[in-house]
Amino acid sequence: MIPVRGYAERKVAVLGLGRSGLTTARALAAGDAIPICWDDGEVARAAAQAEGFAIADLTRDNVWDGIGALITSPGIPHLYPAPHPAIEQAWRHDAVVDNDIGLFFRSFATPDWDEFERPPRVVCVTGSNGKSTTTALIAHILQAAGMSVQMGGNIGRGVLDLDPGRDGGVVVLELSSYQTELARALSPDIAVFTNLSPDHLDRHGGMGGYFAAKRRLFAEGGPERSIIGVDEVEGRYLVQQLREEAATGDPVIRVSSGQRLTGDDWSVFARKGHLAEWRKGRQVASFDLRDIAGLPGAHNHQNACAAFAVGRALGLGPRQIEGGMRSYPGLRHRCQVIATIDGVRYVNDSKATNADAAAQALLAFDNIHWIAGGVAKAGGIEALLPLMDRVSSAYLIGEAAQNFAGSLGACPHRISSTLDQAVAQAHAAAKSGDTVLLAPACASFDQFASFEARGEAFEALVAKLQARTT
């Protein structure tokens, strides 16, 4: 745990007592602060009270005497569509509002670092898609190279639950727009921007607010090295904002999947399945990504380019990085090849909860038996219709099944209703060389508690099929 610094003997309010909130209360107490906790849910309040934390309704005016700061969990709105009442109270009582990311950057560096030969480094990854895979891939590559690595943030452990910095260690954090938007301190050594597509727009007041939340990590965080995906206009804009020299591009590394990047600056791009690194107008490294099992598809090639750039920025050689990528097992529930049965691949992409994410999975494979459905998002699957030539048959489950069937037109499909039936039907129809793909393009909450639970159910069903064939 990282004890929070700067609040010793002071009252600090904690709003939201889920994973990050309860860890924040513990880290504040470890730094001798006095946490005052609240959650709108009775069960969460009871869990915090059982650990000995003081509970007070922070939406009430009379509890704020002596409280100088409010630490809020990422999922709680502080501006749009409307601030939580406890945040309104914090403003009214002149208490600063922060989150666990801000506390982490205030508290991670300590006087002990003066004794280290190499100070710890912090790598932060943000963007709309690919954050989790890029973060996990970076951590895997660094570990494979023998470095001391911790991974946290939106993936793995909460930031304040990490261990204090180690000599020569690296912390790799996945950060969402919810986290970067509010943090009062941001100081990554290396920051990665993967891409941007519409998401969380109600929370950020539109696309401009969403991009502004991501941009804070770079504009206010001031990283030594910024690694920017330039396949969208926002990334290209950010590059121009951060460049110090037009010729070299320092301190920026541009990355792309699908286009060759020209110029004399530092760039890493994937084209036709090959990763290439260019510096000062010449190629300095290249290798084939297409046979790396843990990174299927062009979207993963962009993730690979970003991770490669981080490894190079931290001093690793190209072959070290390539070796780490080849041993990467893939991130669970994210375009993860979980089995091959009689020549048929089974791919778990349960995290594909919207059409944009499902499109990336559909582009990664051919001859697809596609399992889709659940609680539909706005727009349904209309945007996926141009990709139906890749689909041999669709198997539709959950609430969205009937509506999706109406959208698919001439694409072969059947309403399977449940995941069990869909897997059995797809297994019966698939031939060697085909792919059975779970990429629901939907939330899971009609039949499963989470996308993880849905992916785990798919894994269990495939494991039963595999057991029958051995």
Q: Within a domain: residue 5?
A: no
Could you say which of 302, 326, 350 is where a domain stops? 326
Mean pLDDT of all residues belonging to the chain: 94
Residues 91 and 108 in one domain: no
Are residues 378 and 313 both part of a single domain? no
Residues 21-79: tens digit of each pLDDT: 999 999 999 999 999 999 999 999 999 999 999 999 999 999 999 999 999 999 899 99
Q: Consult the annotation and say whether 133 binds a ligand.
A: yes
pLDDT tier, 250 (very low <50, low <70, confident <90, very high otherwise): confident
Choose the final residue of a domain: 98, 114, 144: 98
Q: Which residue has the higher pLDDT, 379 or 160?
A: 160
What confidence score (pLDDT) does residue 331 get? 85
Q: What angle do CA 17, 22, 28 make, to 5 degrees?
A: 125
Q: Do 138 and 189 share a structural domain? A: yes
Angstrom distances, CA of residue 191 to CA of 43, 284, 427: 37, 22, 42
Cβ-contact 377, 353 below 8 angstroms: yes
Q: What's the helix, strand, coil split of the chain in %, to 5?
A: 40, 25, 40
Q: What is the mean pLDDT of residues 172-180?
A: 96
Nearest Cα neighbor of 217 from 251, 236, 193, 241 is: 193
- CATH number of the domain encompassing residue 360: 3.90.190.20
Show which of 300, 326, 352 is a domain's final residue. 326
- What mean pLDDT do residues 368-384 have? 93
What order do you get walking across the sheet with 11-15 strand by strand?
54-55, 34-38, 11-15, 67-72, 96-98
- Once rounded to an integer, what is the mean pLDDT over residues 323-351? 93
Residue 356 phi/psi, 5-degree rounding, is -60, -45
Single-letter code of the amino acid located at 451: F
Q: Strand 225-229 to strand 149-153: parallel, antiparallel, or no bridges (unpaired)? A: unpaired
pLDDT of residue 200: 79
Residues 93, 108, single domain; the answer is no
129 is an annotated ligand-binding site residue: yes
Range of the domain at 355: 336-469
Question: Over the stretch 343-364, which tens digit does the pLDDT of each residue have?
Answer: 999 999 999 998 988 998 999 9
Q: Residue 410 corresponds to which tokens in the numbers above? A: 């001439």
Q: Tell whether the model's pLDDT for residue 95 goes beyond 90.
A: yes
pLDDT at 201: 84
Q: Tokens representing 128? A: 């709309």
Give the pLDDT score at 413: 97
Amino acid 246: pLDDT: 62
Q: Beta 391-397 vs 54-55: how paired, if at all?
A: unpaired
Is the residue at 31 inside a domain? yes
Please write down the HEC assignment for all residues of 235-304: HHHHHHHHCCCCCCCCCEEEEEECCCCCCCCEEEEEECCEEEEEECCEEEEEEECCCCCCCCCHHHHHHH
Determine whether the annotation assigns residue 130 to a binding site: yes
Enumerate the H helices of 19-130 as residue ranges.
Answer: 19-30, 42-50, 85-92, 100-107
Non-local (6+) Cβ contacts of 369 within 8 A are: 391, 392, 393, 394, 395, 426, 429, 430, 434, 435, 436, 437
Please tell me whether 127 is known to bind a ligand: yes
What confidence tier does 297 reach under pLDDT thresholds 50, 70, 90? confident
CA distance 87 to 95: 9
Whether residues 189 and 322 share a domain: the answer is yes
For residue 249, the model assigns a pLDDT of: 72
Clarify whether residues 129 and 247 are in a common domain: yes
Give the closest residue to 68 by CA, choosing from 104, 98, 29.
98
131 in a labelled binding site: yes
Strand partners, 285: 277
Query: CA–CA separation, 418 vs 420, rounded Å?
Result: 5
**185-237 pLDDT, tens digit each:** 999 999 999 999 877 788 899 999 999 999 999 999 999 999 999 999 999 99
C-alpha to C-alpha distance for 157 and 27, rounded to whole angstroms: 13
Quick one: 167 and 267 in the same domain?
yes
Do residues 130 and 302 lie in contact, with contact meaning Cβ atoms separated by under 8 Å?
yes
Omega before 386 within 30 of 0, i.e. cis: no
Q: Strands 170-174, 121-126: parallel, antiparallel or unpaired by DSSP?
A: parallel
Q: What's the Cα-to-Cα distance from 273 to each of 145, 285, 305, rounded to whole Å?
A: 24, 14, 11
